[in-house]
Amino acid sequence: MASREDLGSWLDGGASASGDGGSRLGLPAEGSGSMAPLGRRVIALCVDWAAALGVAALFVRGNEFLPLAVLAVMNVVLVGSIGCTIGHRLLGLRVRVLGAPGRGAAEVPFVGFGRALVRTVLLCLVIPAVVWDGDGRGLHDRAAGTVITRR
Q: For the segment 4-40, what is each residue's pLDDT rounded down to a tens digit?
A: 454 444 444 444 433 455 667 777 778 888 888 889 9
Whole-model pTM: value is 0.77
Closest of 143, 145, 132, 134 to residue 42, by C-alpha: 132
Segment 34-61 shows an average pLDDT of: 91
Rounded to whole angstroms, how far apart are CA atoms 51 and 43? 12
Higher pLDDT, 132 or 18: 132
- If DSSP codes are grouped into helix, strand and coil, which group holds residue 138? strand
Q: Where are the chain's structural domains?
A: 4-150
- If DSSP codes are grouped into helix, strand and coil, which group holds residue 112? coil
